[in-house]
Structure 1
């Protein structure tokens, strides 16, 4: 079974494939939005690959999200894989799909920062290494409201013991979800909405890029594209820490709910501060905790952690719950790739913004029933 590049006409079949394993479905507009990724268009890379089943419909899928990177004045590209799904009709094709992904040209690295415990051994067999060495298995979270987390654990145990007793109703929703949040923000922190090319944020990005680290492109152009995702149920929360009239640090987070039995979580998508302003990181973390409470989250979570970030978190690193425990971060570097020590990834570098399940606000508004989202026969890349 030979993988072929995905085309726009495949998207209804890819939707059906996601539906068959209980994964969140992108709308057709959402797939077209992903297809319009400006970084992908830079190098003419595929948006992913599929394997056709006997009926001619997609039976296996792997997406690839191309990201621009900056290293001083150098422009590079990286590729993160997402949503590997292999149905029974395409059993055995995962090897060819991963080989195709890890051998794609034009990128300095092929990686995933979102592998699940079952799929992560596949990456090692395909030449990908667990990386960063110290933190590839680490996720951090901070409890905001313990009660819904405890109820969620009970629901999951009941589902494992007797899945037939669990109906399709979305659970653990609350009245704060989807409302305009007015969190109490620490001094110096504001909600960031201006991503214009001459905005304070644009000046922050140029200052960040000039530090000489390898950074995923956070330019106003790319941020505007990300915020246009038509499948978001509410826009991400973006916070800025200002000092002396300039943005010195910023954070981006979105509300997500991984399945009907899980509590809502405020997921940190990005957290960056300029050199000399690391003290802004704990301030932004406190702002995110306050915002999570106002937005109805049961916890705050950071799913990709670099060794550089840990000391910057300050006391929040000490108070965090350690999640994960398996190598969810794997990378295959090209021979001519920059020194990996220059790269300190956050969830922004991975697929989280595209693959997290937004809180289904239409369920609360309309009383719609939703299926239980399970991993099924799929692997998360």
Structure 2
């Protein structure tokens, strides 16, 4: 009886098959790797774009704090706009109530009835892009996609009634309103003297439903479709004035569960910008009084905001020294120094340090 014949693959053929399989597995692995890499690069590009956008808006607000309202009687260096609560790009003076389930009715940061700060409100809403002349209109999809930043701002910057003396002594001493607070993902306080916070909401996450047409006004329920609450890490929905710099957070499955990106401006940084404008006003008066050298005593300044905010008695200017073509200035509760150096027939203001 003949033995069964079993076909055998020649060694050379077997080696060829193994090589083909190895190449195929390599191609699959490379494809997966490229796909993952592309996803990472896409997320990185988006992150860089959003970070750059927030940085640009942050600088815009700082610049605006030295010039906002300059063409009318309300101008005071340091004062800013309240957020937009009506999705029309214009500031709304009243703010959401933390003690109300809906946040409404909105109330002013200054309680005229009690003659004191209203501690139950938080000024948060969309960046007032129309008032800031960022643009005349936005596609509603930009709101739905979370590309219009939110602004939270301390009442010290928006209260023209309760804050009667907006100067460094008052604002960096015992201000009328509380400052905002920013913490890290572990709850460690980064600053409890924050003037404003910008939030990039990012794309809607699970459970967040943003509508188009846009809502007619911002409520707590609408706000919660833009910002997140992540137990043990952050809660941007409670209107407490506490914000968390936590970056993008994912669950164990890799799903994004928190994507509020924030940048912030401290009270001292904000005041540093305001004081630079004060120094510029002193420079104008000193230039006008210049005669073979700057005046050795502070020049008279009659600008309404300078007088109204108690700068004219020079109590908040802790140091004024003029020698020839140079003036040095310091201000109450601020560690920075401003120098006015005359060049080409006019003074130039520079600053060393921050408050």
TM-score, length-normalised on structure 1? 0.21
| Bigger-Rg structure (1/2) | 2
Higher relative contact order (CA 8 A, sep 6+): 1
